[in-house]
Amino acid sequence: MAGAATTDTRPLTDGFGRRITYVRISVTDRCDLRCRYCMAEKMEFLPRREILSFEEIDMIAEAFIARGVRKIRLSGGEPLVRKGVTDLAARLGRHLNGGGLDELTMTTNATRLADHADALADAGVKRVNVSLDTLDPDAFRYITRWGDLEKTLDGIAAAQAAGLRVKINMVALAGMNDHHIVPMMRWCADQGHDLTLIETMPLGHIDDDRSDRYLPLDAVKHDLEQQFSLIPLAERTGGPARYWNVEQLGLKLGLITPLTNNFCDGCNRVRVTVSGKIYMCLGHDDHLDLKSALREGGREALDQVLDEAMIRKPRRHDFHIGADDAQPAVTRHMSVTGG
Ligand code: SAM
Ligand code: SF4
C-alpha cells in the first residue's frame, strides 16, 4: 500500500557548510521606473506565460520553509506593479507566528506603497526596504528617468502610518548623489528610518558606463568619519552588509560593499526569479529550473533541484569594476533576481 508522501524537511546546507535560511523571491521583472544603474531605458520583459503563478510561488516558498528557510523577501522589478501581490503576501504570511517563517519583507520603490501599505501590514509584513537614492526632486527624476519623489515620500509616510518599519536603500553613485549622502543620513535619523548605502554592482547592460559611477564605500566611510563617530555594531544578516551606529545622529547605518569587501563566507541566501529559476549567487550565472521541476515532477522533483542547487552554490562572487570593464560581470539585471 502506498504510504502518504512525507514532507522533505532536510535543512538546506551547501557544499561549504553554509545553511540557507533566506530566500529572495522576485515576483515580477517589470518596473514603473528605470533607475540608471539598474536598467536600460528600453527593456524587454518576460512574456506573461513564462512567469510563475502565485500558487506556484506559494508552493516553492512552502518547500523552502519546510527545509529551514526562516526569512523571505519579495522583490522584483517592482513587486507592487504585479496585481494581487498583497494577496500573495497574505498567503505567505500564514507561515509567520510559529509556522516556520520569522520574517516576511518586501523591497520596493514605494511609488505604489501608499495604496498597499495597510494590506502588507495585515499580511504580517513588519518592515519594508525602500529604494531612495536622493531627496532632491530633480536628481530623483534624473536617476529614475521619470520618477516623482513626492509619490515615493507619500508611500514611505503611508508605510509608517501602517506601522511598518522602513529601511532606506541608497545606491552610492559618484558625481550623481555622493553629496546627498549626509542630507539623507540626517533625514533618515529625523524620520526614524535605518539607512543602507550600496555599492553599484556590475549586473546587466545599462545605457551608462558603471565604472564612471562606481563609488567605493570605504572612501565614503572615511569621509563620514571626519564628521561623525561611527561605532561598529555586531549585527550580521548573512549578507554583504555591515552596520554602524552614527553616534551624533542616533542613526543605524549599513554599508553593502560587495566590491570593496567580500563577505561570502557567511552567505545564507539564494534567489528565485519570477520565471522560476534559482540563482545560488548574485554574482554568477549558474542557475537551476524550479518551474519545470514543479510543473513536471511536483514537490519531490522540486526538492531534488534544491539539493542540486546546494551542491552547485559557489564559494564566492567574482565582482569587480575597473576602468577596463566594458561588460557587466553577469548579463542579468538586478531586477531579474530582485537584489
Ligand atoms: N524595485 C524595487 C526597489 O527598487 O527597491 C526592488 C528591486 S531593486 C532591483 C532592489 C535593490 O537593488 C534596490 O535597492 C536597488 O537600488 C538595487 N539595485 C539595482 N541595481 C543595482 C546595481 N546594479 N547595483 C547595486 N544595487 C542595485
Ligand atoms: Fe525599478 Fe528598483 Fe530597478 Fe529602480 S532599482 S529600476 S525601482 S527595479
Quote the CA–CA distance of 75 and 29 in Å, as a whole number: 9
Atom number of ligand 2 nearest to Cα 171: 5
Please tell us whether the domain made up of 22-337 is placed in CATH 3.40.640.10.
no
Q: What is the rounded distance in angstroms from the CA atom of residue 320 to the CA atom of residue 244?
A: 24
Q: Does residue 123 have its Cβ closer than 6 Å to ligand 2?
A: no
Ligand 1 nearest atom to the CA of residue 131, by list position: 5
Evaluate: CB of 206 within 6 angstroms of ligand 2.
no
31 lines ligand 2 (CB under 6 A): yes
CA of 39 to the centre of ligand 1 (A): 9
Distances (CA, A) of 173 to 120, 222, 301: 31, 16, 43
Tell me the chain's radius of gyration from C-alpha atoms.
Answer: 20
Spell out the per-residue pLDDT of the chain, length 339, in tens: 344 567 899 999 999 999 999 999 999 999 999 999 999 999 999 998 899 999 999 999 999 999 999 999 999 999 999 999 999 999 999 999 999 999 999 999 999 999 999 999 999 999 999 999 999 999 999 999 999 999 999 999 999 999 999 999 999 999 999 999 999 999 999 999 999 999 988 877 888 777 788 899 999 999 999 999 999 999 887 777 899 999 999 999 999 987 776 778 889 999 999 999 999 998 888 999 999 999 999 999 999 999 999 999 999 887 665 545 556 667 777 777 766
Residue 168 sits at the vertex; the CA angle it makes with 167 and 170, to the nearest 5 degrees, is 145
CA 338 to each of CA 21, 59, 66, 182: distance values in angstroms, whole numbers, following the listed order = 17, 19, 22, 27
Residues with Cβ within 8 Å of residue 186, at least 6 apart in sequence? 249
Using the mean position of ligand 1's atoms as its centre, give its distance from the Cα of residue 38 in Å.
6
Which ligand is located closest to the Cα atom of residue 39? 2
> Which are the contacts of 2, defined by CB distance < 8 A and separation ≥ 6?
none
Q: Is 35 in the pocket of ligand 2 (CB under 6 A)?
A: yes
- Domain ranges for the chain: 22-337
| Ligand 2 atom closest to Cα of residue 147 | 7
> Torsions phi, psi of 105, nearest 5?
-130, 175
Q: What is the pTM assigned to this prediction?
A: 0.94
- String of DSSP letters for 137-157: HHHHHHHHSS--HHHHHHHHH
Place of cell 494581487: 84
Query: From the CB of 203, is ligand 2 less than 6 Å away?
Result: no
- Cβ–Cβ under 8 Å, residues 30 and 76: yes
- Amino acid sitting at position 89: A
CA dist., res. 61 & res. 88, Å (int): 11
